[in-house]
Amino acid sequence: MSNPEAIALAADHNGVAFKAKAKQILRDAGYRCIDLGPYVSESSVDYVDYAKQLGTIVGRGDVERGVLICGTGVGMSIAANKVEGVRAALVHNLQSAAKSREHNDSNVICLGAWINEDELNLEILMTWLNEKFGERRHVRRVEKLSTHPTTKIVFTNGVFDILHQGHIECLKFAKSLGGRLVVAINSDRAAREIKGEGRPVTTEHDRKAVLQSVKYVDEVVVFDDIKPTALIRELMPHVVVKGGEFTADEVRVRDDIPDGVEVKIFPAVGSFSAASIIKTIRKE
Quick one: 164 and 266 in the same domain?
yes
Same domain, 177 and 249: yes
Rounded CA-CA distance 63/56 in Å is 10
Amino acid 25: pLDDT: 96
| CB-based contacts of 137, cutoff 8 Å, min separation 6 | 267
- The answer on 189 and 126 residing in a single domain is no
| Residue 164 is a catalytic residue | no
- The question of whether 103 is a catalytic residue gets the answer yes
User: Given this model, what pLDDT does residue 146 score?
Assistant: 75
- At residue 247, the 3 state secondary structure works out as coil
Domain that holds residue 25: 3-133
Q: Of the listed 70, 110, 170, 238, which one is catalytic? A: 70
Angle at 207 (CA atoms; ends 201, 210), nearest 5 degrees: 125
151 and 269 inside one domain: yes
CB 224 within 8 A of CB 235: no
Q: Catalytic: which of 13, 92, 103, 148?
A: 103
Domain boundary at 70, 101, 133, which?
133
Regions of the chain short of the pLDDT cut 50: 1-2
Query: H-helix or E-strand containing 64?
Result: strand 63-70
Domain's final residue, options 133, 151, 174: 133
The total domain count for the chain is: 2
- Specify the DSSP element, H or E, that contains 142: helix 135-143
pLDDT digits (tens, 9 = 90+) for 135-163: 666 776 777 777 778 899 999 999 998 88
> What one-letter code names the amino acid at 196?
G
Cα 38 to Cα 276: distance, rounded to the nearest angstrom: 60
**C-alpha to C-alpha distance for 27 and 199, rounded to whole angstroms:** 54
Asked if residues 96 and 68 have their Cβ atoms less than 8 Å apart, the reply is no
Residue 250 is part of a domain; what is its CATH number? Answer: 3.40.50.620
Per-residue model confidence (pLDDT) at position 34? 97
Where does a domain end: 74, 103, 133? Answer: 133
Give pLDDT, residue 58.
97
Cα 231 from chain centroid (whole Å): 23
Q: Please give the DSSP secondary-structure letter assigned to residue 84.
A: T
Q: What whole-number distance in Å separates Cα of residue 8 and Cα of residue 23?
A: 9
Largest CA distance in the chain: 80
Q: What is the pLDDT of residue 1?
A: 42
3-state secondary structure of 203: coil
Q: Are residue 49 and residue 156 in the same domain, yes or no?
A: no
